[in-house]
Amino acid sequence: MNGSSEVSLVALGGLGEFGRNVLWLSCGDSNVVVDAGVSFPDEAFPGIDRIAPDLSPLRSVRIDAVLLTHGHEDHVGSLPLLSEWCEAPVYSLPFTAALARRRLEEAGLAIERLVEVRRGQTLRAGAFAFTFFRVSHSVPDSAAILIEAGGWRLLHSGDFKLDPDPPDGETTDVEGIAQAAAAGIDLALIDSTNAERPGRALSERIAGAGLAAAFADAPGRIVLTTFSSHVARISQAADAAMAQGRRVAILGRSMRTIAEIAERFGRLRIAARIAPPELADAAPSRVLCLMGGSQGEPFSALYRLSLDEHADLKLKPGDLVLFSARTIPGHERSVNRVTDHLVRRGARVLREADPPIHVSGHAHRDDIADWLALVKPRSVLPVHGEARMLAAAAEIAREHGVPAESVPLVDNGDRLTLSASGMRIERRAVATGKIFLDSRPEMVDLEVVRDRRRLAEEGFVVVLVHDREIAVVSRGVARDETELSGEVSRAAREVLDRATAEERADAEWLRAEIALVAKRACRREFGIRPVIVPVIV
Ligand SMILES: [Zn+2]
Ligand SMILES: [Zn+2]
């Protein structure tokens, strides 16, 4: 180790868990935050949309910069929360900045703090200097970042893979990274997501070929769902469809917004578009519909389609629905549920195929080994993953000659310090926690203090549904309880009345729908925003 003063790292999220990546680096009284992400909870958190790490440990320090590796939600989703009080400039490559901008605008926050960085350009903030290098991943402008402070040189891989020939040309900047590494890397932070998987991550082109093959024997409509930010996949799907004379419709707000950004950046060109209202009259063999909802989210376009409730599209027997995305762990049941609904509509559903219709955006074992050979780090810190993934990445580092004592495994809240006398770990140095976010457009964090404030101001309303019976219980709501209960029951009753038998049997759908109408009824009739707790028995 050759630094002149100490540099410390604390993860507030992302270690020993999937998602909500936030890394806090400090050197003297200067601090930098890398990524500000959220994770997506499974069904163990009813009514909760996203989970952010508790960012309050950052409130007591001077933050000189926030650096974003790329625009995925597990890296930028809690930026609005951080930006409520942190005014530090936020640096990223341009496409990431566009996605972050949309997040901040939705939350009504200032966007002036966003700074677009060019690849290879070195910037300074406080005691830190940093340089962004492009890496191949599943969203444009993903970056690895060289971070220098106190005489130390750290290279954060971001999320990456080594696709030598991606269809969008977004290769990993091997040359730039090799040059940066030539001056020595003290610590390499490495994406461990796929460290358990042998071999190499497949090229994005394989997914394109898989989609074209699957499209070839589809006589009816094709509906494809993937992550809205996966521009390369959307582009390949559109190309494959247009090659067969199909026109392309994009349904759902999130995917439309990101497609617009991608078109503005020249990352997506869809020459043959079809507007959603024209779908009803178009020949089924002539359309491809792209939409979000690949994780079975109850308010997504795909979910509405699966329940025959989409305004512009009705599935018919013989239509093909492709899931061109992996299922995030914990979302298997939601994905299975939406698949069952689709199958009941007579659609053919394709989730796994040969050749594959989805490939991963994360490096496998051999890719990680190649990265380490390129970077030649003195020490390695596995990041981005559950404990077993971090352990697998550590094993790869040791196999490739990094001494075991230079491959630390740390948890959220542990402080890792690089000092002249070596590497030091202080376990549980910083208190970490979670903040729960619900599906409202504005952020509501359920952290104890604010939760209490809100409950004190607005109270809560529980809507109990048992078969066709509805009971409403409210506490702390400053309105006539009978009137309130009457309005909310009426709204919930309407949901039950218009729901099909299939929808009524879908507790997740009912819960989401009843929460929405109860929230609206409270706001419209009484001008209040209590916490709504739908309980389906
Ligand atoms: Zn990512
Ligand atoms: Zn990630």
Burial 359-383 (b: 16+ CB within 10 A, else e): bbbbbbbebbbbbbebbebbbbbbb
Same domain, yes or no: 318 and 402: no
Same domain, yes or no: 59 and 148: yes
Give the domain extent around 321: 204-350
Yes or no: say if 164 and 203 are a contact pair by the CB < 8 Å rule.
Answer: yes
Same domain, yes or no: 238 and 259: yes
CA of 44 from ligand 2 middle (Å) equals: 22
pLDDT band at 453; cut points 50, 70, 90: low
Structure-block tokens of residue 271 = 């020459």
3-state SS class at 53: strand
What pLDDT, on the 0 to 100 scale, is given for residue 476?
A: 79
Structure-block tokens of residue 275 = 């507007």
CA torsion sign, 476 to 480 to 484 to 485?
Answer: positive
What pLDDT, on the 0 to 100 scale, is given for residue 436?
A: 80
Helix extents (H) in 226-310: 231-243, 253-264, 301-306
pLDDT band at 3; cut points 50, 70, 90: low
Q: Which ligand is nearest to the CA of 74?
A: 2
Beta-carbon contacts of 47 under 8 Å, excluding residues fewer than 6 positions away, are: 438, 439, 511, 515, 532, 533, 534
Same domain, yes or no: 311 and 331: yes
Q: Of 177, 176, 137, 179, nearest to 155 (Cα)?
A: 177
Q: Please, is 411 exposed, middle or buried when counting C-beta atoms within 10 Å of its C-beta (0-12, 13-18, 19+)? A: middle
CA of 275 from ligand 2 middle (Å) equals: 33
3-state SS class at 133: strand
Q: Please, is 2 exposed, middle or buried when counting C-beta atoms within 10 Å of its C-beta (0-12, 13-18, 19+)? A: exposed
CA of 384 from ligand 1 middle (Å) equals: 10
- The average pLDDT across 150-178 equals 96
Give kind and range of the element (H or E) at residue 339.
helix 332-344
Note residues around ion ligand 2 (Cβ under 5 angstroms): 74, 159
- The average pLDDT across 189-206 equals 97
Q: Which ligand is nearest to the CA of 34?
A: 2
Instruction: Determine, yes or no, domain membership for 462.
Output: yes
Instruction: Determine, yes or no, domain membership for 173.
Output: yes
Please state which of the ranges 32-46, 88-102, 435-449 shows the lowest mean pLDDT: 435-449
pLDDT at 161 over 60: yes
Amino acid at 130: F
What pLDDT, on the 0 to 100 scale, is given for residue 47?
A: 59
Helix extents (H) in 171-252: 174-182, 204-216, 231-243
pLDDT at 526 over 90: no
Distance between CA 237 and CA 222 in Å, rounded?
10
Same domain, yes or no: 391 and 415: yes
Beta-carbon contacts of 193 under 8 Å, excluding residues fewer than 6 positions away, are: 18, 159, 360, 362, 363, 384, 385, 389
pLDDT at 2 over 90: no
Domain boundary among 325, 350, 375: 350
Distance between CA 203 and CA 465 in Å, rounded?
48
Same domain, yes or no: 342 and 396: no
Instruction: Determine, yes or no, domain membership for 148.
Output: yes
What pLDDT, on the 0 to 100 scale, is given for residue 172?
A: 96
Number of domains into which the chain is organized: 3
Burial 117-139 (b: 16+ CB within 10 A, else e): beeeeebebbbbebbbbbbbbbb
Give kind and range of the element (H or E) at residue 129.
strand 128-134
User: Please, which contacts does 155-158 make with residues 24 or more away whose CB atoms are closer than 8 Å?
Assistant: 155/180, 155/181, 155/185, 155/187, 155/188, 155/189, 155/375, 155/377, 156/23, 156/34, 156/69, 156/189, 156/383, 157/188, 157/189, 157/190, 157/191, 157/363, 157/371, 158/69, 158/70, 158/75, 158/191
CA of 92 from ligand 1 middle (Å) equals: 14
Q: Which ligand is nearest to the CA of 14?
A: 2
CA of 21 from ligand 2 middle (Å) equals: 7
Q: Which ligand is nearest to the CA of 136?
A: 1
Q: CA angle, corner 163, sides to 196 and 32, nearest 5? A: 75
Q: What DSSP character marks residue 280?
A: G
3-state SS class at 58: helix
Yes or no: say if 131 and 121 are a contact pair by the CB < 8 Å rule.
Answer: yes
CA of 358 from ligand 1 middle (Å) equals: 15
What pLDDT, on the 0 to 100 scale, is given for residue 484?
A: 87
pLDDT band at 45; cut points 50, 70, 90: low
Q: Which ligand is nearest to the CA of 140?
A: 1
- The average pLDDT across 80-108 equals 95
pLDDT at 442 over 80: no
Beta-carbon contacts of 278 under 8 Å, excluding residues fewer than 6 positions away, are: none
What pLDDT, on the 0 to 100 scale, is given for residue 504?
A: 86
Instruction: Determine, yes or no, domain membership for 441.
Output: no
What pLDDT, on the 0 to 100 scale, is given for residue 451?
A: 62
What pLDDT, on the 0 to 100 scale, is given for residue 299?
A: 81
pLDDT at 272 over 90: yes
Other C-beta atoms lying within 10 Å of the C-beta of residue 72: 26
Distance between CA 287 and CA 295 in Å, rounded?
23
What pLDDT, on the 0 to 100 scale, is given for residue 1?
A: 45
Q: What are phi and psi of 306, to 5 degrees?
A: -65, -25
What CATH number does residue 273 fall under? 3.40.50.10710
Amino acid at 353: A
- The average pLDDT across 414-431 equals 96
Domain boundary among 409, 434, 459: 434
CA of 141 from ligand 1 middle (Å) equals: 11
Instruction: Determine, yes or no, domain membership for 442.
Output: no
Same domain, yes or no: 102 and 242: no
CA of 127 from ligand 2 middle (Å) equals: 27
How much is the mean pLDDT over the chain? 92
Distance between CA 351 and CA 6 in Å, rounded?
49
Instruction: Determine, yes or no, domain membership for 439.
Output: no
Note residues around ion ligand 1 (Cβ under 5 angstroms): 72, 159
Please state which of the ranges 293-302, 361-370, 415-424 shows the lowest mean pLDDT: 293-302
pLDDT at 210 over 70: yes
CA of 196 from ligand 2 middle (Å) equals: 16
Same domain, yes or no: 312 and 187: no
Q: Which ligand is nearest to the CA of 70?
A: 1
CA of 17 from ligand 2 middle (Å) equals: 11
CA of 142 from ligand 1 middle (Å) equals: 8
Domain boundary among 302, 319, 350: 350
pLDDT band at 401; cut points 50, 70, 90: very high
- The average pLDDT across 63-83 equals 96
Q: Which ligand is nearest to the CA of 71?
A: 1
Q: Which ligand is nearest to the CA of 360?
A: 1
CA of 209 from ligand 2 middle (Å) equals: 25
CA of 192 from ligand 2 middle (Å) equals: 10
Beta-carbon contacts of 439 under 8 Å, excluding residues fewer than 6 positions away, are: 47, 49, 299, 512, 515
CA of 524 from ligand 2 middle (Å) equals: 39
Look up the pTM and report it: 0.83
CA of 73 from ligand 1 middle (Å) equals: 8
Same domain, yes or no: 424 and 497: no
Same domain, yes or no: 265 and 390: no
Same domain, yes or no: 130 and 223: no
Return the bridge partners of 114, or none: 90
- The average pLDDT across 119-139 equals 97
Instruction: Determine, yes or no, domain membership for 509.
Output: yes
CA of 76 from ligand 1 middle (Å) equals: 10
What CATH number does residue 408 fall under? 3.60.15.10
In degrees to the nearest 10, what's the CA dihedral of 422, 426, 427, 430?
-130
Instruction: Determine, yes or no, domain membership for 380.
Output: yes
pLDDT band at 537; cut points 50, 70, 90: confident
CA of 168 from ligand 2 middle (Å) equals: 20
CA of 512 from ligand 2 middle (Å) equals: 27
pLDDT band at 447; cut points 50, 70, 90: low
What CATH number does residue 457 fall under? 3.10.20.580
What pLDDT, on the 0 to 100 scale, is given for residue 439?
A: 57
Q: Which ligand is nearest to the CA of 37?
A: 2
Same domain, yes or no: 178 and 247: no
Distance between CA 131 and CA 145 in Å, rounded?
6
